[in-house]
């Protein structure tokens, strides 16, 4: 009876600790997976990048997922992703590899998403891409304006609705005051 009184609370605390640890690990995995799924159409989003860089930590115990992430990362670091070599086929390959990675992560978390569902069922309005490209152009132009060789060129032109004022004769130069008389 005394043993039960002593051991009971200890077991309760240990069980609580184990459950909290398990829950924290799962929450981290869900955050990575949820972030990547929600942003899979915009992989340059800072939250997406944060999530993929966290894969090795939260899925440490799943070698398949880490190997798939290594494959995706190798593709992103390859010559195909250098600006001078980039073609749309390189992005399609990235989408394929990402969908395989996300499908494997879903399986680890107990979800039943297949590769095709993950790859094809993401909504990303085309205006977001256009906005992103415009922001890049604006940033480049702004940075170029700080370059001493580039700078901002300003041309001053008269307003078409205003007429030039008639030329006036120059005013006489002011004369110094003469001596003061008491």
pLDDT at position 32, please?
94
Q: Is the pLDDT of residue 43 over 80?
A: yes
Task: Give the integer Cα–Cα distance in Å for 105 and 33.
Answer: 7
Give the tens place of pLDDT for each residue, 158-176: 888 776 555 566 666 666 6
Task: Give the integer Cα–Cα distance in Å for 78 and 58.
Answer: 25
Give the tens place of pLDDT for each residue, 87-119: 888 888 988 999 999 999 999 999 988 878 787
Mean pLDDT of 10-32: 79
Task: Give the integer Cα–Cα distance in Å for 109 and 66.
Answer: 15
Domain ranges for the chain, please list them: 2-132
Q: Is the pLDDT of residue 182 over 60?
A: no
Mean pLDDT of 147-152: 71
pLDDT at position 2, please?
75
Task: Give the integer Cα–Cα distance in Å for 32 and 101.
Answer: 12
Weakest mean pLDDT among 54-63, 75-84, 150-159: 150-159
Residue 41: pLDDT band (50, 70, 90) is: confident
pLDDT at position 72, please?
94
Residue 169 vs residue 13, higher pLDDT:
13
Q: Is 122 exposed, middle or buried (0-12, 13-18, 19+ CB in 10 A)?
A: middle
């Amino acid at each position: 009876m005394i043993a039960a009184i002593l051991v009971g609370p200890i077991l309760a605390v240990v069980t609580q600790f184990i459950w909290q640890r398990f829950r924290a690990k799962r929450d981290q995995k869900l955050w990575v997976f949820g972030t990547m799924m929600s942003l899979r159409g915009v992989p340059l989003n800072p939250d997406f990048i944060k999530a993929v860089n966290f894969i090795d930590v939260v899925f440490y115990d799943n070698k398949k997922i880490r190997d798939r992430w290594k494959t995706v990362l190798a593709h992103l670091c390859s010559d195909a992703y250098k600006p001078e070599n980039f073609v749309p086929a390189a992005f399609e390959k990235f989408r394929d590899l990402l969908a395989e990675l996300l499908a494997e992560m879903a399986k680890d978390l107990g979800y039943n998403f297949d590769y095709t569902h993950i790859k094809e069922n993401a909504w990303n309005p085309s205006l977001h891409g256009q906005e992103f490209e415009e922001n890049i152009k604006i940033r480049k132009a702004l940075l170029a304006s700080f370059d001493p060789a580039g700078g901002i060129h300003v041309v001053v032109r008269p307003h078409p609705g205003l007429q030039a004022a008639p030329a006036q004769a120059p005013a006489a130069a002011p004369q110094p005051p003469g001596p003061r008389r008491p």
